[in-house]
Structure 1
Amino acid sequence: MAAVESYPMKGGDGSFSYTKNSTFQKSASSAVQGLICSAITEKFDAMNFLLPITATTPSATATIRLADLGCSVGPNTFTAMQNVMDTIETKAKSLSFKNPQFQVFFNDHAGNDFNTLFTSLPFDRAYFSAGVPGSFYGRLFPDSSLHFIHSSYSLQWLSKEPKELLNKESEAWNGGRIHYTSAPRGVEDAYARQFSEDMELFLGERARELVVGGMMVLIMPCIPDETVAHSQVPAGIMFDLLGASLVDMAEAGVISQEQVDSFNLPIYGVSPMEMQSLVKKNGRFSIERMELTDPTSARKNNEGGSKTTGDDNTIANHLRAGMEGIFSKHFGVEKIDELFDRFSKKTIEFSDKFKSSIKQGTQLFIVLVKKN
């Protein structure tokens, strides 16, 4: 397959690192923790994967292999995987099966900060761990080697930006913008086509790697349906403000207009209908559950209400932790501080827009099970 663009999250444990700026992602994952537990309890094929407690096999133990695709550097991946293992153990006990051994594979691009990931592994973990570098748009594991796959807030990243966006003769030419938010229909269509191509690869490879009856849980940002404009959801607003910040920098002579015109974020927010169609087209998985959720619900519950959005540097720091790499490569490391300083000011200026944006139903939760 063609080379995949790689822009890992900010490594280390500094002020702008993903380790210290990923509480939004943690809240999004926490919002569906109960749904994951229910899916495992109701649909995970324990009868075929675990060993019963018998007098004749006292020492035999099954091994359950799990993978987190797009794990980044923690700590969110450790929490998510522990939740899965705890639920599988609870199910094993309820069915009088032996507690299995667990092997957890942490996957991300080769440029991911695996050193930080593994130095922060929980000291008291009761599982075997391994890092698997590489793009999940390609093959990662042997045939039928995994029982459970998890991926949270990773699949919105495309393998590459659609090439039509840079063609001035194309209806998908995206000059003056960095995303399809607020762009002509041709731009959004180009993104949708690239997402479809990527998901075809992703689902095809996972179908080979999962055992029959194996489960895959996917959590990703989305739009509730095709009637909701991307500019009405928080992510779309953020990308518009990032683009506006870059345009301001070009007008001030800090960067060139050509740099802005040649840059596009390779990120796509799918709709449930699109995702359902792509899974059915692949044909190797049954959709056991597909549900729209509110990624901010866990944060609201913990704080006793909705947190004011756009009143400090929190949004800018989180976005920087996830996107500094892609912006640095294109515009230069020396421009990053000014970019996110401008962006932070715009989030305050347009805080009312954030508050009125659509949040309910902007996270897609999907449970897939591998067919025969």
Structure 2
Amino acid sequence: MMQYMTDIHLSSSQKVTADDAKALLVEAIAENLDIEHACPISRSTYRIADLGCSVGPNTYTAMETIIEAVVQKYQSKGHLELPDFQVFFNDHVSNDFNTLFVNLPREKQHLAAGVPGSFYTRLFPKASLNFVYSAYALQWLSMAPPEIGDMNSPSCNKGRISHLNAPDEVGQAYSAQYAKDMESFLSARAQELAPGGLMAILIPSSKDGNLPAQTSPGPYIQPLESSLLDMGNEGLICKDKINSFNLPIYSPSLEELQTVISDNGCFDIVRLEAQSREYGFLSTTEECRAGLGSILGSYFGSENTDVLFERYSKKIAGRSRNVPDDNSCTVGLFILLRRINH
């Protein structure tokens, strides 16, 4: 299974949304961290994992925010002695961990370790973590639904590279793949988090009432898709290759997210709320390439990808970067889960 990193060059709107979540994160820890009963697992170590960390700097800021909030909680309870903090930075095996560790803040408050691998599988020993964090990584599926790339399937997504404006069958295939992946994610974390441990997730979500086919990772999909189809029509890329390609990205609805968490049965939803901002800004070429260049390059080749983003740049030239009025925007969800004591 594949897991794609959330690159250092997050779109500006996603970065703003992540920054807005910091206050929610601090407040959630202050209100829900149970020091007396749930942590630390070892009296000397508090363990945190950032799943889908990429290469920074957003992960550094998030980890410091979590640690500072935990320290404040300890101090508020009159604890003079603090545990050591250990942070595990996780992303797929091709992530640039060298860059990640070279740029770690010198004055960091934690011990650091890298854990390569897909977060849709087990990564840590049982009950070894106190806190799990993941920001804008779980919109990446382990794979695009196989049937939508099958030319003989009724769910074939011919002429599109996402579920935006696709038939209902395509949206349903994405939704089913999301539910399967999220169950794998929750089941793995349920084994790794100690009873009472917390997990904070930031994830893009579709607006209430929208069908899967009405939402998208952002309006950059349309000019990217158009550029790719133009290259197919001009014979630069085989049309069948384009028709078999689909981005493994999905933004679930609030109802979908609640359902999969409930069905898993290992976590209480302590807090779940939409952030005030919508994001759907038209990405710059650099932002789009940072987020999608790797998967496009591995499928279509680096030379074709260079041409693709040149065309993308021309298509978005002069367009407004404001959030559009249509349904292509998503909202950021902040979810805090607590591992149930069984």
Q: Same fold (TM over 0.5)?
A: yes
Could you tell me how far 1:129 is from its partner in structure 2? 0.5
Change (3 A) 1:67 1:345: same
1:95-121 CA distance string (max 9 Å, x none): 102322100000001111000000010
Quote the residue 1:40 is aligned against: 29
Quote the residue 1:143 is aligned against: 126
In the alignment, the residues of structure 1 paired with residue 304 and residue 329 of structure 2 have an alpha-carbon distance, to the nearest angstrom, of: 34
In the alignment, the residues of structure 1 paired with residue 215 and residue 252 of structure 2 have an alpha-carbon distance, to the nearest angstrom, of: 14
Letter in 2 for 1:345: K
Quote the residue 1:249 is aligned against: 231
Alignment counterpart, residue 345 of structure 1, candidates 314, 321, 336: 314
Quote the residue 2:334 is aligned against: 365
Secondary structure in 1 aligned to 2:199? strand
Alignment counterpart, residue 197 of structure 1, candidates 153, 177, 180: 180
In the alignment, the residues of structure 2 paired with residue 220 and residue 117 of structure 1 have an alpha-carbon distance, to the nearest angstrom, of: 22
The answer to whether the 8 A contact 1:289-1:366 is kept is: yes
Unaligned runs of 5+ in 2: none
Alignment counterpart, residue 280 of structure 1, candidates 248, 257, 262: 262
In the alignment, the residues of structure 2 paired with residue 149 and residue 353 of structure 1 have an alpha-carbon distance, to the nearest angstrom, of: 33
Could you tell me how far 1:359 is from its partner in structure 2? 8.6
In the alignment, the residues of structure 1 paired with residue 70 and residue 138 of structure 2 have an alpha-carbon distance, to the nearest angstrom, of: 25
Could you tell me how far 1:294 is from its partner in structure 2? 3.9
Change (3 A) 1:259 1:340: same
Change (3 A) 1:285 1:61: closer
1:299-342 CA distance string (max 9 Å, x none): xxxxxxxxx955xxx52211211111100011110122221222
Alignment counterpart, residue 2 of structure 2, candidates 1, 5, 9: 5
Quote the residue 1:73 is aligned against: 55
The answer to whether the 8 A contact 1:231-1:237 is kept is: no
Quote the residue 1:107 is aligned against: 90
Alignment counterpart, residue 240 of structure 2, candidates 258, 268, 278: 258
Unaligned runs of 5+ in 1: 10-17, 52-59, 298-307
1:26-48 CA distance string (max 9 Å, x none): 32211111111111011111122
Quote the residue 1:185 is aligned against: 168
Q: Greater shift after overlay, 356-365 or 79-88?
A: 356-365
Give the length in aligned residue pairs: 339
1:14-163 equivalent positions in 2, closer than 5 A: 18-19=7-8, 23-49=12-38, 62-97=44-79, 98-163=81-146
Spell out structure 1 runs of 4+ moving beyond 6 A.
Answer: none
Change (3 A) 1:332 1:361: closer
Secondary structure in 1 aligned to 2:201? strand
1:257-309 CA distance string (max 9 Å, x none): 11210110000000010000000000000001111114569xxxxxxxxxx95
Could you tell me the TM-score, scaled by structure 1's length?
Answer: 0.85
The answer to whether the 8 A contact 2:214-2:327 is kept is: no
Change (3 A) 1:23 1:371: same
CA RMSD of aligned residues (A): 2.3
The answer to whether the 8 A contact 1:49-1:64 is kept is: no
1:88-143 CA distance string (max 9 Å, x none): 10111111023221000000011110000000100111210000010000000000
Q: Greater shift after overlay, 191-200 or 246-255?
A: 246-255
